[in-house]
Structure 1
Amino acid sequence: MSTAPRGRGGQGARLAAAGLLTVAALAGAGAARAGATTGPGSAAAPAGCTGTSPLTCHYAVAPGEYDVTVSLGGATAGQTEMWVEARRLMLPATTTAAGAVAAYSFTVDVRQPEGQPTGQGGTGNPGLDIRFTGSAPRVTAVSVKPATRPLVAYLAGDSTVCDQPSAPYTGWGQMITTAVRAGASIANYADSGESSGSFLGNSALFPAMLSKVGANDPVFIQLGHNDKQTTASAYRGNLTAMITRIRAKGGVPVLVTPPVRRLFDGARLTPTALHVNGVGVNLPAEMRAVASAQRVPVIDLTARSKALVESLGPSASAQLFLRSSVDGVTDNTHFSQYGATRIGGLLLQSIREQNLPLAAYLH
């Protein structure tokens, strides 16, 4: 299967039309202004941006995919992180030496609501929001323009995947964005509390996502955490329905077994941690069976996360999840930012190993 960028037909035409409006809007409120820097003793911030630490920027663009280029650095040394929309990390802490300027480019998915598709946790602001944080943010310029031929990787999942609006909760979908280079974007349609059936049936979730899937776009499906009473036949049927409809659009479905919970019996994880549900269904095994029957790729995130969590043991594995001493809450299902980064890394490793469509766009 090809991973090369390709045209979007109607979407491309819409983006081209939007581009005319975007250029006009950005010229007054969001286009990069050369020579503008942030930090102590610096010139004004780039147009569309306010503050210093953090520096926040807003661009009045329509939903879609956008190429964003930022220049970091300036007269004094800096350390800058870049976040977009609902806490999607695009650039981890990056150091620039005094007098140095470096450019970084990304392709960003813009959606309204900007976080979880059902609006859980808030809907955010229409348009594109960028936040530069770090110990000493230094931003020289920002430019935004419509992306005309991006590969879009869609995420269908639950609260362990979604764009969590508030720290410390973090979905792995918010962290894998740091590994994706310009030319591809992550469109995260994961939503808290969703099972395979509710995700399939909610018009704001699978139907809304499917309407945007284009040829060769990968769709990563991780559902199972909330299928606590789902029968084996219903679970298989829900996954098969998604696969069939994604293929009909020319997309590439990829099944992802759910990451484990941190529930130990001695040094080993319990069946509940491994997603054997309340009616005795081994959900990861059922997902693997569907993948085999439908001949679709499967990423066994259950097995990979089991190996990671058990290797760390009952004590050290707590850092992957939420701890009362650090996060103010104890939660053995949802990830800390560190945990979401590690789990996302396992997914990215499998994408590379299987040479899935997104692999060609990973750093």
Structure 2
Amino acid sequence: MENQITIYIAGDSTAAIKLPEKRPETGWGEAFQAYFKENVKIENRAINGRSTKSFIKEGHLAAIEKTIQPGDYLVIQFGHNDQKIEDPVRGTHPYGDYQDNLGKFILVAQQKNAYPLLLTSVTRRKFEDEKIDSISVGDYPQAMIQFAEKYQVPVLDIHKITTEFMAKAGDEESKKYYLHLPPGQSENYPEGITDNTHFNEDGAKKVAQIIIEAIQQSHLPLKNLLK
């Protein structure tokens, strides 16, 4: 297609394409394509369970580097698995190797004349006494913002916006966006599931919409690709 532009998503399970046996779990990246013009292709490279460290070490950033073209976009969202400090394969320190790793993603985009865009991690659903935990992904969102400001890289604070959205929805209402299923409702989860990190289809669509609205309200050239 003429003037084809590809938007690469590098991230974790909150954004990733799900296998049939995981449904109704859905990643926000799966709902992204509908918002963009016909000449825009979403290349969702997000992978379950990955951190900045493991995504790079397994060669997934190198794979993006091979195909990303000038004028393409690289959207980067990590933090949930970087938070697992006790795991030497994935854990990173927010103001240390996490920021160093973000720099590697940015460098790939810049060396290929593509546009990088950082997204702070979507919130976890963690309520206590009817109040949502505003730091459910630790210091990683703030570390990303600090990195973005230092190196003048575009960043959208999706953690803040999704936290505010879920807080407004409240403890009970917010469950309808996450993977909460009673026993017997889903063949994939016969015993039911209570997952406050991953989204169902409605949640993924809502988070995608939140990200798109943040893009629309920004000064980013990416908003010119929206329908």
TM-score (norm 2): 0.88
Q: Deviations over 1:272-302 (max 9, x none)?
A: 52x11xxxxx110000001001111101110
Q: Deviations over 1:214-249 (max 9, x none)?
A: 112111100001012121211110001211221011
Q: Is 1:253–2:107 an aligned residue pair?
A: no
Instruction: Give distance in 1, aligned partners of 2:200 and 2:39.
Output: 28
Q: Which amino acid aligns with 1:182?
A: E
Q: Deviations over 1:91-145 (max 9, x none)?
A: xxxxxxxxxxxxxxxxxxxxxxxxxxxxxxxxxxxxxxxxxxxxxxxxxxxxxxx
Alpha-carbon shift at residue 270 of structure 1 (Å): 2.4
Q: Check the 8 A contact 1:256/1:298 in 2, yes or no.
A: yes
1:5 maps to what in 2? Answer: none
Q: Check the 8 A contact 2:10/2:44 in 1, yes or no.
A: yes
1:242 maps to what in 2? Answer: 105
Q: Check the 8 A contact 2:52/2:98 in 1, yes or no.
A: yes
2:132 maps to what in 1? Answer: 269
Find the partner of 2:211 among 347, 350, 362.
347
Alpha-carbon shift at residue 269 of structure 1 (Å): 2.0
Matches within 5 A, 1:48-87: none
1:224 maps to what in 2? Answer: 79
1:177 maps to what in 2? Answer: 33
2:8 maps to what in 1? Answer: 154
Q: Check the 8 A contact 1:221/1:253 in 2, yes or no.
A: yes
Q: Which amino acid aligns with 2:80?
A: H
SS at match of 2:8: strand
Instruction: Give distance in 1, aligned partners of 2:49 and 2:156.
Output: 21
Q: Check the 8 A contact 2:119/2:157 in 1, yes or no.
A: yes
Matches within 5 A, 1:179-328: 179-203=35-59, 205-228=60-83, 229=85, 230-231=92-93, 232-270=95-133, 273=136, 275-276=137-138, 282-325=139-182, 328=192
Alpha-carbon shift at residue 313 of structure 1 (Å): 0.5
Instruction: Give distance in 2, aligned partners of 1:333 and 1:235.
Output: 20
Instruction: Give distance in 1, aligned partners of 2:226 and 2:129.
Output: 38
Instruction: Give distance in 2, aligned partners of 1:346 and 1:305.
Output: 7
Alpha-carbon shift at residue 148 of structure 1 (Å): 4.1
TM-score (norm 1): 0.56
The answer to which structure has the higher helix fraction is: 2
Alpha-carbon shift at residue 256 of structure 1 (Å): 0.3
Instruction: Give distance in 2, aligned partners of 1:357 and 1:286.
Output: 24
1:55 maps to what in 2? Answer: none
Q: Check the 8 A contact 2:73/2:109 in 1, yes or no.
A: no
Q: Check the 8 A contact 1:182/1:361 in 2, yes or no.
A: no
Instruction: Give distance in 2, aligned partners of 1:184 and 1:356.
Output: 16
Q: Check the 8 A contact 1:170/1:336 in 2, yes or no.
A: yes
Q: Check the 8 A contact 1:217/1:357 in 2, yes or no.
A: no
Moved over 4 A (4+): none
Aligned-residue CA RMSD in angstroms?
1.4
SS at match of 1:323: strand
Larger radius of gyration: 1
Q: 1:165 to 1:357 in 2, by over 3 A?
A: farther
Flag structure 1 segments of 5+ consecutive residues without an equivalent.
1-146, 277-281
Q: Check the 8 A contact 1:153/1:358 in 2, yes or no.
A: no
Alpha-carbon shift at residue 339 of structure 1 (Å): 0.3
Q: Check the 8 A contact 2:2/2:39 in 1, yes or no.
A: no
Alignment: residue pair count: 210
Instruction: Give distance in 1, aligned partners of 2:127 and 2:108.
Output: 38
Alpha-carbon shift at residue 303 of structure 1 (Å): 0.4
Q: Which amino acid aligns with 1:152?
A: T
Instruction: Give distance in 2, aligned partners of 1:208 and 1:169.
Output: 26
Q: Check the 8 A contact 1:155/1:189 in 2, yes or no.
A: yes
Instruction: Give distance in 1, aligned partners of 2:152 and 2:169.
Output: 34
Higher relative contact order (CA 8 A, sep 6+): 2
